């Protein structure tokens, strides 16, 4: 009898990070394993130390997270799922600290940017750190040297590191979501009753109208494209790769036919994976 073990899901950051939340949403019975960088989380999965990697690809305010797309360019991993996390930022302090005691606030640059209005309103000094949860993890020790220190991070980070929340949901805009890809070695079959997406990348020939000709293949097969973005190629100056998301699974006849047609028109096509679309997250 084969004994199933709980899956290990790599993510970038410390315990309490939004990436950990996404990883555990994908595998509630699994173990989320934090790594210092995107590359280390990715390579741990390639080597088999972890079964999956859960990495952010897009934020509704800041746009695409290019490190993940760059890693996918030469990857053997496939996208097997996506998760969308609602981002609520909170001001975390050591126990007993009051809001009026705070002088400087540590967090990831994106989190600081997304809470600019709150920081300006209170006259706090914003200090960039490598990670929201990492800033929370270091806060108790940091506050001994720098009284008045606080961190912007998740509620989960506050619970993980024994911190208090003195101001919650301090992000400037409510429409703050992060989309994550879950990467694995083996493609999953389509799930009955679920909507699916397919992600791929392509390069075009350098001639007029070639991108239009490539994308036309989707409308010819009744397929809706949900994302198109360009990134510079790392092996050819002033040339670009295009990242595309479409609705449907590669097992669907129209999607399979469209990909076959695309390969005839494009200079290069790489299939990144088909996966169930994330459940919609409401704005509260």
By annotation, the residues acting in catalysis are: 178, 180
CA dihedral (15, 21, 27, 29) in degrees, to 10, reads: 60
- Residue the block writes with tokens 């999956």: 52
In angstroms, rounded to a whole number, what is the distance separating the alpha carbons of residues 43 and 47?
6
Three-state secondary structure call for residue 161: helix
Q: Residues 6 or more apart from 282 whose CB is under 8 A from it?
A: none
Helix (H), strand (E), coil (C) string for 84-112: EEECCCEEEECCCCCHHHCCEEEECHHHH
Beta bridge partners, 84, equal 179
Nearest C-alpha neighbor of 182 from the set 29, 276, 55? 55
Nearest C-alpha neighbor of 235 from the set 74, 27, 31, 72? 74
Beta bridge partners, 55, equal 181
Nearest C-alpha neighbor of 27 from the set 225, 183, 218? 183
Nearest C-alpha neighbor of 201 from the set 279, 136, 124, 263? 263
């Amino acid at each position: 009898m084969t004994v199933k073990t709980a899956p290990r899901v790599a993510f970038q950051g410390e315990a309490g990070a939004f990436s950990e939340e996404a990883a555990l949403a994908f595998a509630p019975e699994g173990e989320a394993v934090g790594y210092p960088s995107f590359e280390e989380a990715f390579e741990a999965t390639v080597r088999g130390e972890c079964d999956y990697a859960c990495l952010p690809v897009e934020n509704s305010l800041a746009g695409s997270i290019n490190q993940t797309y760059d890693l996918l360019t030469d990857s053997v991993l496939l996208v097997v799922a996506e998760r969308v996390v609602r981002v609520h930022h909170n001001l975390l302090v050591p126990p007993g600290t009051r809001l009026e005691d705070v002088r400087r606030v540590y967090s990831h640059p994106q989190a600081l940017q997304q809470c600019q209005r709150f920081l300006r309103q209170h006259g706090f000094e914003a200090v960039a750190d490598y990670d929201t949860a990492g800033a929370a993890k270091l806060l108790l020790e940091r506050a001994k040297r720098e009284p008045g220190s606080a961190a912007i991070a998740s509620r989960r980070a506050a619970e993980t590191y024994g911190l208090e929340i003195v101001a919650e949901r301090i992000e400037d805009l409510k429409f703050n979501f992060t989309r994550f890809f879950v990467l694995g070695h083996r493609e999953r079959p389509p799930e009955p009753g679920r909507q699916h997406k397919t992600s791929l990348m392509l390069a075009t020939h350098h001639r007029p109208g070639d991108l239009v000709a490539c994308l036309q293949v989707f409308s010819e097969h009744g397929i809706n494209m949900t994302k198109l973005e360009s990134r510079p190629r790392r092996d050819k100056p002033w040339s670009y790769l295009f990242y595309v998301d479409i609705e449907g699974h590669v097992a669907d006849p129209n999607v399979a036919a469209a990909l076959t047609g695309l390969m005839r028109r494009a200079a290069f096509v790489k299939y990144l994976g088909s996966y169930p679309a994330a459940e919609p997250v409401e704005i509260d």
